[in-house]
A and B are shown apart, each in its own frame.
Chain A
Amino acid sequence: MSKRAKLPVWADVALIPLINVSLAFLAAGVVVALIGENPLAAVEVLVRGAFGYDEGVGYTLYYTTNFIFTGLAVAVAFHAGLFNIGGEGQAYIGGLGVGLVCLALDHLMPWWMLLPLAVGAGMLFGAAWAFIPGYLQAYRGSHVVITTIMFNFIASALMVYLLVNVLIKPGQMAPETRDIADSASLPLMHEIFAQFGIKITQTPLNLSIFVALLAAFLVWVLIWRTRWGYAIRMIGHNESAAVYSGINPKKMVVVAMAISGSLAGLVAINEVMGAQGRIVLDFVAGSGFTGIAVALMGRNHPVGIILASLLFGALFQGGAELAFEFSTITRDLVVVIQGLVILFCGALAYMMRAPLERLFGLLSARATKSEESR
């Protein structure tokens, strides 16, 4: 057994994820080759689809926005030692809040006045939907993983009911609300660019990506610079020490879940107030679950989450392009590739650690030897 060295920070945060992503692509390449397509050509289509032209970039960043919100949601809960699987449902119910506020006030005020109210409503509704599992975990011992999954189903059923029976725009078949007035929905990015005289293709990308970046910064502040963050991290690491420090772990479980849910609820700003301009069925489209992989890969740190969101955004957009270009590659294979990325970056995240530590040990041993010989 050769000597192991402690990895430098850059290797830990950058090199290892990079190696893992490469391995995932390598494995995906093998799958593509088995189907009979050229893996290199596939990669080219995927990368070009995601970053190669302005429409692709727009869609990539639009997906990224959702993943940042749900990734942050999972991360906050994770710092408290909780596994919030319910981002999906919380985002969906958050959409109800955003939608109701926008539909009620869209003829009274412009988007920039409405935005804070919509953000507040989305966060409040998302928080409420996460509060219940949080409360049940803290005071009734029902495991949050089970209850949040159940709440996803409840949210889904509830929203179908509301959209079909209550919120539906009269006189149509599709279970959707009426459109939010143009003046009240978030400006799309191509409209903003047009203001400055730059012409880009229309995509669903809208202002909410800045809300997402702001949320990432605020989560960083929350977790590492506030008393709540201190308490959240402490109950995540050591509940007994938290009691010793005068922190009420039960209360903090509920608080952490509520914050987590409120972040998930912000997905609705991107979807309901931005991209769709109305509440539609299943607008969350799996972002809540992707958020788990994003948080895992981003090591629950806002910066990591932004980068991981970008990767998954690119996979979503590039993957769609891939399915479009190759008749043999279907949407399912794209899911396989995403699965491989999650497998290598999440489940096998530490696989490359030991060999790398040995490599660094070997290099440093050689360095000291050559120094000695001098």
Chain B
Amino acid sequence: MTEVQQQGQQGPVSHAIRLEEINKSFGAVHANADVSLAVGAGEIHAIVGENGAGKSTLMSILYGFYSADSGRIFVADSEVEISDSKKAIQLGIGMVHQHFMLVENFTVLENIVLGAESHWSLTASLSNARRRLQEISDTYGLSVDLNALISDLPVGLQQRVEILKALYRGARILILDEPTGVLTPQEVDQLFAILRTLKQQGVSVLLITHKLQEVIAISDRVSVMRGGRMVDTLNTASTNREELAELMVGRKVLLRVDKESAKPEKVLLATRHLTWLDESGVPRLDDVCFEVRAGEIVGIAGVSGNGQTELLRVLSGMLDVQRGSVEIDGTTIDSKQQMTPKQVRHLGVGHVAEDRHRDGMVGAFEAQETAIMGFQDEPEFNRSGLLDRAVINQHCVDLMEEFDVRPAAPTLKSGGFSGGNQQKLVIAREMAPKPKILLVGQPTRGVDIGAIEFIHQQIVALRDAGSAVLVVSVELEEILSLCDRILVMSEGRIVGDVLASETDARSLGLMMSISRSGEQQQQQEPLQ
């Protein structure tokens, strides 16, 4: 790694990109305050920081979405003004967004050419592009079937198309926004291999992420932002995750969950041969059997899309039980005895939905309206046929205080809160009635490190109070440190049941890749 790093620094251009004293305010919010940053050619530079630290604003300034209030930008040592993203592309800056900007029913080739046609005739543009893309993929070792439809490609390859798109437009500086959020561990490895090749070819990579272990694994240098300021820039080799986390949050952070060992008691939640087929007859849940006891946290590990979503939806009553049964504290739910989400709630089940934007909240609703979702019919929130605004407001204020939701403004639109505060509000809502069983999907997706610690503590506290908790997460680290027992899901089946204390990321990764035929897919070295 050091060898390449030196190579990069010895290049003819001292810095591929340099930002000096960038300032940007939105009303009263100083999103970027005197931010300076320098990235060398062929350097992988990570930028870390909590939500709202100013990373996205900084990258938006670099890519021409916003213009800075003051400050200077240098590309290859000459000062530039980036008025819009077209200008950014001309300057060789490419961006791979967290949510891909691809047309699903176009081929890879059509997507790459879209907006950068070289000729008025589409056929000519496409054949020109095909030739150039061949060169590019040879140079950078990026192979994608150019004729494949985007909708047929797995996420990892879709991301590769985004990278190709940027390179096709001549990018020498590549900004990647949370690139690993949607990838499997194997795909992450492949992405990192690509980034290393790009680096060897002198391309600078700006990596925005919140996953510190990945920062350590791939970057040369790392800059930490907090509250709109650049706190520090460090050589990755001479730092560690704990130090980075502390710089990000501004105080010592516990990365491992501090908890006593579990004292499991009677079974509160069980599934018996649970099977669920989707519309095209594909089994999303395939003969799933497990039990969760009072006083334990059971985690479901697995690459996303292997049945975890369906499992949570069936358990919470959002989907009907087709075959097999679910037992909730002695009550059986099966194909003859279905239950609505409301009835399941009344059995004492709390459900933190996996995707809060899709299920768990409504962005356009006031926070206090989000705070009663699922409880809107309860007598305590209704008086003589109308929703009791005063009680609802007080309830929301209480939740916000107990779970430290900021700002504590019940009438603010839910979408106006940061991800961490949204999630805290959702978790507060689900935990408030002290559920006997708590289902949690992705407890800390899009949540700041500081809030992660808090959310984990709350989940452990609920366990210690005698509830059964089922956690679904794609973050292995989270599963390992939060849960007492871990079930591994692959292709809708439970393929492993281990104690958290007796396993590690590596063996979980191996189990996660067990396919239906019982064979293990080719497995690369998992990340440390």
A→B interface (CB under 8 Å): 1, 3, 5-6, 221, 225-227, 230-231, 233-234, 237-238, 240-241, 243-246, 248
Complex Cα distance, B342 from A138, in Å, reads 21
Residues on A with beta carbons closer than 8 Å to the beta carbon of B365: 233-234, 237
Complex Cα distance, B364 from A234, in Å, reads 9
Selected from B342, B369, B386, the residue in CB contact (under 8 A) with A221 is B386
Residues on A with beta carbons closer than 8 Å to the beta carbon of B27: 5-6
Contact indicator B369/A240 (Cβ below 8 Å): no
Contact indicator B341/A244 (Cβ below 8 Å): yes
Q: Is the interface of A mostly helix, strand, loop or mixed?
A: helix
Say yes or no: is B186 at the interface (Cβ < 8 Å to chain A): no
B166-174, B373-381, B477-485, B517-525 - the one binding chain A: B373-381
- How many Å from the CB of A291 to the closest CB on chain B? 23
Closest to A244 in B: B359
Contact indicator B386/A1 (Cβ below 8 Å): no
- How many Å from the CB of A220 to the closest CB on chain B? 12
Residues on A with beta carbons closer than 8 Å to the beta carbon of B376: 227, 230-231, 245
Residues on B with beta carbons closer than 8 Å to the beta carbon of A6: 27
Most buried by A among B342, B360, B376: B376
Complex Cα distance, B83 from A1, in Å, reads 7
Taken residue by residue from 14 to 35, chain B's Cβ proximity to chain A (1 for < 8 Å, 0 otherwise) reads as 0000000000000100000000
Residues on B with beta carbons closer than 8 Å to the beta carbon of A5: 27
Contact indicator A246/B67 (Cβ below 8 Å): no
Complex Cα distance, B388 from A226, in Å, reads 9
Most buried by B among A5, A6, A234: A234
Contact indicator B385/A1 (Cβ below 8 Å): no
Contact indicator A227/B387 (Cβ below 8 Å): yes
Say yes or no: is B499 at the interface (Cβ < 8 Å to chain A): no
Taken residue by residue from 334 to 369, chain B's Cβ proximity to chain A (1 for < 8 Å, 0 otherwise) reads as 000000111001000001010000111111110001
Contact indicator A241/B345 (Cβ below 8 Å): no
Contact indicator A244/B351 (Cβ below 8 Å): yes
Selected from A1, A230, A234, A241, the residue in CB contact (under 8 A) with B360 is A241
Say yes or no: is B318 at the interface (Cβ < 8 Å to chain A): yes
Given A1-B67, A225-B389, A227-B387, residue A241 in contact with residue B341 (CB < 8 A): no
Contact indicator B364/A237 (Cβ below 8 Å): yes
Residues on B with beta carbons closer than 8 Å to the beta carbon of A233: 362, 365
Contact indicator A1/B358 (Cβ below 8 Å): no
Say yes or no: is B84 at the interface (Cβ < 8 Å to chain A): yes
B→A interface (CB under 8 Å): 27, 67, 69, 83-84, 316-318, 340-342, 345, 351, 353, 358-365, 369, 373-374, 376-377, 382, 385-387, 389
State the 9 A-B residue pairs at the shortest beta-carbon distance, nearest first.
A246-B342, A244-B359, A246-B341, A245-B373, A245-B374, A225-B386, A237-B362, A240-B358, A238-B362
Selected from A1, A225, A227, A244, the residue in CB contact (under 8 A) with B377 is A227
- How many Å from the CB of B438 to the closest CB on chain A? 15
- How many Å from the CB of A4 to the closest CB on chain B? 9
Contact indicator B386/A234 (Cβ below 8 Å): no
Selected from A1, A226, A231, A241, the residue in CB contact (under 8 A) with B84 is A1
In the assembled complex, 5 residue pairs joining A and B whose CB atoms fall closer than 8 Å, in A order, are A1-B67, A234-B362, A234-B365, A244-B373, A245-B373
Residues on A with beta carbons closer than 8 Å to the beta carbon of B83: 1
Contact indicator B377/A246 (Cβ below 8 Å): yes
Q: A3-B69, A241-B373 are in contact. List 14 more A-B contacts (CB 8 A).
A: A5-B27, A6-B27, A226-B386, A227-B376, A227-B377, A230-B376, A237-B364, A241-B360, A243-B318, A244-B318, A244-B341, A244-B359, A245-B341, A246-B340
Closest to A365 in B: B69
Complex Cα distance, B343 from A248, in Å, reads 13
Q: Is the interface of B mostly helix, strand, loop or mixed?
A: loop
Complex Cα distance, B373 from A244, in Å, reads 8
Residues on A with beta carbons closer than 8 Å to the beta carbon of B359: 240-241, 243-244
- How many Å from the CB of A5 to the closest CB on chain B? 7
- How many Å from the CB of A224 to the closest CB on chain B? 9
Complex Cα distance, B368 from A230, in Å, reads 12
- How many Å from the CB of B1 to the closest CB on chain A? 40
Complex Cα distance, B42 from A178, in Å, reads 90
Complex Cα distance, B376 from A225, in Å, reads 11
Contact indicator A241/B361 (Cβ below 8 Å): yes
Residues on B with beta carbons closer than 8 Å to the beta carbon of A245: 341, 373-374, 376
Most buried by A among B67, B340, B341: B341
- How many Å from the CB of A366 to the closest CB on chain B? 14
Complex Cα distance, B353 from A319, in Å, reads 55
Complex Cα distance, B376 from A226, in Å, reads 9
- How many Å from the CB of A174 to the closest CB on chain B? 45
Selected from B316, B345, B364, B387, the residue in CB contact (under 8 A) with A226 is B387
Residues on B with beta carbons closer than 8 Å to the beta carbon of A1: 67, 83-84
Given A227-B377, A231-B376, residue A244 in contact with residue B360 (CB < 8 A): yes
Residues on B with beta carbons closer than 8 Å to the beta carbon of A244: 316, 318, 341, 351, 353, 359-360, 373-374
Complex Cα distance, B353 from A238, in Å, reads 14
Contact indicator A225/B387 (Cβ below 8 Å): yes
Complex Cα distance, B387 from A231, in Å, reads 12
Most buried by A among B316, B340, B362: B362
Complex Cα distance, B360 from A246, in Å, reads 12
Residues on B with beta carbons closer than 8 Å to the beta carbon of A238: 358, 362-363
Residues on A with beta carbons closer than 8 Å to the beta carbon of B69: 3
Complex Cα distance, B95 from A60, in Å, reads 57
Complex Cα distance, B316 from A6, in Å, reads 40
- How many Å from the CB of B427 to the closest CB on chain A? 14
Complex Cα distance, B341 from A248, in Å, reads 10
Complex Cα distance, B60 from A1, in Å, reads 14
Contact indicator A246/B374 (Cβ below 8 Å): yes
Residues on A with beta carbons closer than 8 Å to the beta carbon of B345: 246
- How many Å from the CB of B319 to the closest CB on chain A? 9
- How many Å from the CB of A219 to the closest CB on chain B? 14
- How many Å from the CB of A59 to the closest CB on chain B? 37
- How many Å from the CB of B288 to the closest CB on chain A? 21
Selected from A225, A241, A246, the residue in CB contact (under 8 A) with B362 is A241
Complex Cα distance, B332 from A319, in Å, reads 68
Closest to A231 in B: B376
Complex Cα distance, B320 from A243, in Å, reads 12
Residues on B with beta carbons closer than 8 Å to the beta carbon of A225: 386-387, 389
Residues on B with beta carbons closer than 8 Å to the beta carbon of A230: 369, 376, 387
Residues on B with beta carbons closer than 8 Å to the beta carbon of A243: 318, 341, 359
Complex Cα distance, B231 from A23, in Å, reads 50
Contact indicator B67/A241 (Cβ below 8 Å): no
Given A234-B362, A237-B365, A244-B341, residue A226 in contact with residue B373 (CB < 8 A): no
Complex Cα distance, B27 from A116, in Å, reads 53
Closest to B386 in A: A225
Residues on B with beta carbons closer than 8 Å to the beta carbon of A248: 340
Closest to B381 in A: A227
Complex Cα distance, B378 from A245, in Å, reads 12
Complex Cα distance, B414 from A233, in Å, reads 14
Residues on A with beta carbons closer than 8 Å to the beta carbon of B387: 225-227, 230
- How many Å from the CB of A239 to the closest CB on chain B? 10
- How many Å from the CB of A215 to the closest CB on chain B? 17
Residues on B with beta carbons closer than 8 Å to the beta carbon of A221: 386
Residues on A with beta carbons closer than 8 Å to the beta carbon of B361: 241
Residues on A with beta carbons closer than 8 Å to the beta carbon of B351: 244
- How many Å from the CB of B357 to the closest CB on chain A? 8
Closest to A230 in B: B376
Closest to A238 in B: B362
Residues on A with beta carbons closer than 8 Å to the beta carbon of B386: 221, 225-226
Complex Cα distance, B475 from A92, in Å, reads 59
- How many Å from the CB of A372 to the closest CB on chain B? 13
Residues on B with beta carbons closer than 8 Å to the beta carbon of A234: 362, 365, 373
- How many Å from the CB of B364 to the closest CB on chain A? 5
- How many Å from the CB of A226 to the closest CB on chain B? 6
Residues on A with beta carbons closer than 8 Å to the beta carbon of B318: 243-244
- How many Å from the CB of A330 to the closest CB on chain B? 44
- How many Å from the CB of B86 to the closest CB on chain A? 12
Most buried by B among A1, A3, A6, A241: A241
